Amino acid sequence: TSGLGQRLSEFVGVKASDGESVWIVRPGQNMEKFRYSGELTQEGVTEFIAGWRAGTLEKTLKSAEVPDYNDDPVKIVVGKNFEDVVMNNDKYVLLEFYAPWCGHCKKLAPIYDDLAKKLSHMENLVIAKIDATENEVPGVSVQGFPTLKWFVPGNKANPQAFDADRTLEGITKMIKEKMGGDWQE
């Protein structure tokens, strides 16, 4: 595939290495995608479509591979480790959704790295980033780059927008305010 077909395939998450595949894609704000993984038979595809119509299929989300090394101050999140790094713990999480080609993201990167180093002593806080061009996570809609989301222990299913001055001081101040009594000097 080339041209528009290739770009659409990349956007949806279909790779040439996937070979023949059947997908249902529902365009919209939260573009839903469903991939058929059974044997390509008329019966199997018919059951797949029936499952989609009944609302019983699980959405297919893009994910890069989990990194072998993830011990830097800024943790790397991909679709496959999102639950472990962000959701399934009792820590506050600041997660940057970025695009590698985004100029604003490149400008934020050294500030974000400095922030993670400065706050690395805080065991109840994770500073993380996710390449939103290669990964999707459930329940989070990203409309532009960079997008910062704040995940609070006990209410992680409802991440908050994190609108702070994009400076080391501005982000630190906002984290301190949001953490309240949980802030650690």
Give the pLDDT of residue 29: 64
The residue among 1 and 68 whose pLDDT is bigger is 68
Cβ atoms within 10 A of the Cβ of 43, count? Answer: 9
Kind plus residue range of the DSSP H or E element containing 10: helix 3-12
Chain segment 96-124, per-residue pLDDT in tens: 999 999 999 999 999 999 999 999 999 99
Residue 137 zone, left/alpha/beta (φ > 0; ψ -120 to 50; rest): beta
pLDDT of 170 higher than 60: yes
Kind plus residue range of the DSSP H or E element containing 23: strand 22-26
Chain segment 30-83, per-residue pLDDT in tens: 678 888 988 889 999 999 999 999 999 988 888 999 999 999 999 999 999 999
How far is it, in rounded angstroms, from Cα 143 to Cα 121?
32
Distances from the Cα of 155 to the Cαs of 15, 92, 150, 161, in angstroms? Answer: 35, 10, 10, 13
Range in 15-24, 131-140, 156-165 with the lowest mean pLDDT: 15-24
Q: Which two three-digit tokens encode residue 175?
A: 């984290």
